[in-house]
Amino acid sequence: MNNNFLVFSGRASRYLAEKICASLGCPLGNLNVQTFADGEFGVSFEETIRGKHVFLVQSTFPTADNLMELLLMIDAAKRASAAHIIAVIPYFGWARQDRKDKPRVAIGAKLVADLLSVAGIDRLITMDLHADQIQGFFNIPVDHLYASKVLAPYIEQEVGTENLVIASPDAGGSKRAYNYAKYFGVPMVMCSKHREKANVVDSMFLIGEVEGKDVVLCDDMVDTAGTITKAANLMMEKGARSVRAIASHCVMSGPANERVEASSLKEMIFTDSIPYRGSCAKVHILSIADMFAETIRRLMNEESISNMFII
């Protein structure tokens, strides 16, 4: 493998960067973050990166400090004469703000894309964007990975496909659920929901049959868990034998842990794109470190990554 690269991490994703480096068989780069009394912070690379391919691992989940820290890392790498700067952002924050859905609102995903581009990245590696079209906000190569690489094998092993039904908790996730259903060769059902405001589901009904089936709900992220738990409860009311849920990003804010624990879900499966700091017994975390490590390995060897995609 071409060893002309270094991997560094921001504070928020160090747990994942360490696993990526272990998979690559390389040390994690030495980066220092200094915090001042007023909360301002600065970053510095404590080893030479001149002429290197520099991979910066940092998910940009709240708070905004995580994004700012990544931007400072990019700027420092550019000023230290790195040959190429690759941002590795397993969870791309602000991705839900991908369009103007009402007057006088910001398109946060485009703003973040512009910030990263102006800061100086040459490439982006990310996973399961909330909207695929966010890739078009960048004028640089974007490697958009999918958590199905780790989630699909887990479902095959733990649930099997004989009695499986794939479900989408809302219309927006129907394409994702369809792709899983097509891959497994099983039926798909969908929930239709109505919201009065963000994070609050007023009503929901089921389109399709789940009686006697093992249902797996698919989503890209779970925030307050209102939709996913309401959908799970509805599936059990309609006669499902069991209900699990898979989601790429473990946001799990507010009452999410309590809702999942009290719901009909047998299991809630996430990846470690975001660190899970809750204590819900139903939550199970799968690591994406090997997937990202293999992507880095193939990029450095100038190999295709397309055959890594399952769904």
Catalytic residue among 193, 213, 238, 282: 193
Confirm whether 193 is a catalytic residue.
yes
Q: What is the DSSP string of the chain?
A: ----EEEEE-GGGHHHHHHHHHHHT-PPP-EEEEE-TTS-EEEEESS--TT-EEEEE---PSSTHHHHHHHHHHHHHHHTT-SEEEEEESS-TTTT--S-SSTT---HHHHHHHHHHHHT-SEEEEE--SSGGGGGG-SS-EEEE-THHHHHHHHHHHT-STTEEEEESSGGGHHHHHHHHHHHT--EEEEEEEEEETTEEEEEEEES--TT-EEEEEEEEESS-HHHHHHHHHHHHTT-SEEEEEEEEE---TTHHHHHHHSS-SEEEEETTS------TTEEEE--HHHHHHHHHHHHTT---GGG---
Q: Give the residue numbers marked as catalytic.
A: 193
